[in-house]
Amino acid sequence: MTISRRLLIFLALILSNYSYLCAQDLPQDKKASLDYMKEAEDIMAATRAVDVARDQMVLAANYDTTNIKANFEAGYMHIESIDKAQATKYFLRIYRQNPNYRFDLEYWIGESYQYGLKFDKAIDFYTKYKNKLNAKAGYSGKDRVEMKEVDRRITECNNGKEFVANPKPFSITNIGSAINSPQEDFAPVLSADENFIVFTSRRPDDNMSSDVYTDNKYYEDIYTATKVNGVWQSAKNIGPSVNTKTFDSDLTLSADGNLLFVYKDEGDGDIYVSEKGKDGTWGAPTPLPGVINSTYRESSVSISSDEKFLFFASDRPGGFGGSDIYIGYKDSKGEWSRVKNLGAQINTEYDEDGPFISFDGKTLYFSSEAHKGMGGFDIFKAEAINLEKNEWGEPENIGYPINTPDDDIFYVTSKDGQRSYYASVREDGLGYTDIYVITDLEKTKKQPEVAAKEPIKEEPKKEEPKIEEPKKEVVKEEPKQEVVQQPKKETPKKIIQPIKFLLTVVDASTKQPIDAKVKMQGLKDKVVVGAIDRGEGVTEFTIKSTTALQYRITIEKEGYIFQTINEKVPAATTEEKTISKTVALQKLVVNAVSILRNIYFDFNKATFKTESYGELNRLEAMMKQNPVLQVEIAGHTDIVGTKAFNKSLSQRRADAVRGFLTSKGVDPRRVKTIGYGAEKPIASNDDEKEGRELNRRVEFKVLSN
């Protein structure tokens, strides 16, 4: 049963407006907090619209920090949706006031710190919970978390510390707005030439259903897109032959791109196949023939390039845990007639899902909640020793930053293995889950071997008549004394010493250290730099590049204006080097101004480029963390163009930022806009790099907080 989209949108708008008015009339008032909490509870009772309810519960928690129930629910709703690390502050408010509110409170704090990559703090609170559990071993309440689970979390945190300190050289790039939308986009599968993509989305555009599900989101539909001259064209719905008015999701493509495997809810979840016709249209999906489907859930699938082996996940009985990965074998008649569990080398007592067999037919990628992970589902790879005998090598975690403490799943690779694709919630996303392309820089650096050229056939040379030289008299030489060569002393090769980059974050007024969220990555290649939290506001980054590079550093802290700075770091050499930098964060006080330098627009337009969304998302997070904050967004241009055009362009760009914020649920009355054109330059317009480029900017100013 669906719920009217108009009803839910109307409900969200009414609640948003009512909340804003209450915020103005009753700031920090307990009654307002109770009203917000009641609204959130009513939403959850009527629907599963967690996002709408969470925003109301956050208001309830922020307007009365002593409202224990509202703060717990605000934290819990973040854990159950996105921005999981934001739960920490709500749980800590409870812990400071009443540490005995729930028996498992320390566990929840540890989990929220783990999601935020604060592994040492997570371990500290997990350990506090373990001590409580040891002291009350007989406690049997519903809020008890078993020791085994806590120990597993601590192991994940130790793994996470190792992975984050030594990230893999992956360049992770948003695939772009032609594919991604503000809604969930996930499950990408591509043709062998990477010019055709199939994925699942919950966007309203071109959706087969005009209604929303009980979570206030559109149903899943399958979409496709093609690449023309290296550029993705806008995605389109695959059509009514495959999609229905309920949930439809893609699973995988055959190597030749002619078979599309899809998921249907039939039989508790079965695999279906759609075949591509000669005219390029897709036929109606039919159940996968053979013994693959069962009366239990089959949730994902991958087929080998020779179409002899099929890998799938299922929760059927007889496995090692909830969901296991299986292999199906095709017989001589071309039918799937035999199925085997991949065994204890791959499957565990926890869940495994999302198998993908690479084009070489040897490397299996899959997601697991166990093995050596850092939390949730992590992506692993294992090499086949013998597919017929179902023998596998040891699974290897593919590493950070692809894997995180949250769920990472449904990962596919390109034919040459140099690129891969997956969906994730990342800081530069257009909405919820976005699809990303990952470039393995280690593999791309390896140049293919040059094929040996065939020897050139030479023409036979004409022999010239030989002229004999007169014989010379042989002179006997004295025997030479043998010279004994001393072994050469090899000079030990000097080892490149990574650069230590120490970043200290302090309060701009007090100069006291701040425990902020800090990240550093390559400006161009977007490769994340290894980091260790040293405490007292200090983060140590390890830079191994032997080339001088520009890096982008982002610093965020609730109650402060976030900063995004670029820093050029010299090349690592054989000499040890330490670079120290201090960044002062300014509190969100009235009249404070900050430049949003990393918001980029198409030339002479007010449409965002994909690389703008990281900065926009940080602005959105700041607005939501500070629910009474009101700002002015100001657009500025350089002097090129007419005064009227620049004025109009700067206004449209400021309005675009406001439009982004309001589309994310920020009340429009909290955001004012103005376009100044070229009236307020911050540098000379005589030079492009050091002048006009700096003048083309967007600023925000704090009006009230």
Q: Which of 356, 521, 550, 501 is nearest to 426 (CA)?
A: 521
Find the mean pLDDT for residues 416-436.
91
The answer to whether residue 611 scores a pLDDT higher than 80 is: yes
Measured CA to CA, the distance from residue 522 to residue 169 in angstroms comes to 10
Find the mean pLDDT for residues 400-424.
94
Q: Which residue has the tokens 């050029």?
A: 568
Measured CA to CA, the distance from residue 95 to residue 106 in angstroms comes to 8
Query: Which has the minimum average pLDDT: 21-35, 176-190, 357-371, 470-484?
Result: 470-484
Return the bridge partners of 504, or none.
Answer: 538, 582
The answer to whether residue 10 scores a pLDDT higher than 70 is: no
Can you tell me whether residue 210 is helix, strand or coil? coil
Which residues are CB-contacts of 392 (< 8 A; sequence separation ≥ 6)?
A: 342, 343, 345, 346, 364, 382, 383, 384, 385
Confidence grade of residue 601 (pLDDT, cut at 50, 70, 90):
confident
Find the mean pLDDT for residues 242-267.
92
pLDDT value of position 267: 77
The counts of H helices and E strands in the chain are 12, 33
Q: Which of 291, 257, 286, 265 is nearest to 274 (CA)?
A: 286
- Residue 217, token pair as written in the block: 């989101």
Confidence grade of residue 687 (pLDDT, cut at 50, 70, 90):
low
Torsion angle defined by CA atoms of residues 212, 213, 216 and 221, in that order, rounded to the nearest 10 degrees: -60
Mean pLDDT, the chain, as a whole number?
A: 89
pLDDT value of position 574: 94
Tell me the torsion sign for CA atoms 406, 412, 418, 419: negative
Q: What is the residue extent of each domain of the chain?
A: 5-165, 170-440, 496-587, 588-705
pLDDT value of position 597: 79
Find the mean pLDDT for residues 586-594.
94
Name the CATH topology of 170-440.
Neuraminidase (2.120.10)
Q: Is 428 left (phi over 0), alpha (psi -120 to 50) or beta?
A: alpha
pLDDT value of position 486: 66
- Residue 446 belongs to what H/E stretch? none
Distances (CA, A) of 705 to 395, 401, 603, 630: 51, 35, 34, 6
* Number of neighbours of residue 62 by Cβ within 10 angstroms: 24
The answer to whether residue 14 scores a pLDDT higher than 60 is: no
Q: Please state the three-class secondary structure of 650-672 as a single string.
A: HHHHHHHHHHHHHHCCCCHHHEE
Find the mean pLDDT for residues 235-244.
96
Confidence grade of residue 513 (pLDDT, cut at 50, 70, 90):
very high
Query: Which has the minimum average pLDDT: 116-125, 287-296, 484-493, 674-683?
Result: 484-493
Distances (CA, A) of 571 to 48, 345, 458, 518, 543: 52, 42, 50, 22, 9
pLDDT value of position 465: 47
Find the mean pLDDT for residues 645-663.
94
Tell me the torsion sign for CA atoms 18, 23, 24, 25: positive
* Degrees to nearest 5, angle at CA 113 with 111 and 114: 60
Distances (CA, A) of 236 to 101, 151, 318: 50, 46, 41
Measured CA to CA, the distance from residue 203 to residue 185 in angstroms comes to 8
pLDDT value of position 456: 42
Query: Which has the minimum average pLDDT: 329-343, 544-558, 678-692?
Result: 678-692
What pLDDT, in 10s, does the model give residues 474-510? 555 555 566 666 666 676 778 999 999 999 999 999 9
Find the mean pLDDT for residues 92-114.
97
Measured CA to CA, the distance from residue 368 to residue 379 in angstroms comes to 7
What pLDDT, in 10s, does the model give residues 548-569? 999 999 999 989 999 999 999 9
Confidence grade of residue 455 (pLDDT, cut at 50, 70, 90):
very low
What pLDDT, in 10s, does the model give residues 194-207? 999 999 999 999 99
Query: Which has the minimum average pLDDT: 29-43, 137-151, 269-283, 473-487?
Result: 473-487
Return the bridge partners of 583, or none.
Answer: 505
The answer to whether residue 315 scores a pLDDT higher than 60 is: yes
Tell me the torsion sign for CA atoms 314, 320, 325, 329: negative
Confidence grade of residue 533 (pLDDT, cut at 50, 70, 90):
very high
What pLDDT, in 10s, does the model give residues 123-153? 999 999 999 999 999 999 999 999 999 999 9
Beta pairing, strands 630-636 & 671-677: parallel
* Contact by Cβ (8 Å): 169, 442: yes
Length of the chain: 705
Class of domain 588-705: alpha beta
Find the mean pLDDT for residues 153-160.
98
- Residue 245, token pair as written in the block: 């008015």
Beta pairing, strands 499-507 & 577-585: parallel
Measured CA to CA, the distance from residue 545 to residue 543 in angstroms comes to 6
* Contact by Cβ (8 Å): 549, 523: yes
Which residues are CB-contacts of 200 (< 8 A; sequence separation ≥ 6)?
A: 185, 186, 187, 220, 221, 222, 223, 248, 249, 250
Which DSSP category does 396 fall into?
A: E
pLDDT value of position 19: 46
Find the mean pLDDT for residues 455-476.
48
CATH of 496-587, one of 3.40.50.720, 2.60.40.10, 3.90.1640.30, 1.10.1530.10: 2.60.40.10
pLDDT value of position 482: 60
pLDDT value of position 477: 55
* Contact by Cβ (8 Å): 497, 573: yes
* Degrees to nearest 5, angle at CA 504 with 501 and 509: 155
* Contact by Cβ (8 Å): 32, 67: no
- Determine the residue type at 20: Y
What CATH number should be reported for the domain whose range is 5-165?
Answer: 1.25.40.10
Q: State what percent of residues in the chain have pLDDT above 90.
A: 74
**Fold agreement between 170-440 and 588-705:** no
Find the mean pLDDT for residues 213-230.
95
* Contact by Cβ (8 Å): 177, 231: no
Find the mean pLDDT for residues 390-394.
96
Determine the angle formed by the axes of helices 87-97 and 68-79, rounding to 10 degrees: 150
Q: State what percent of residues in the chain have pLDDT above 70.
A: 89
Return the bridge partners of 225, or none.
Answer: 197
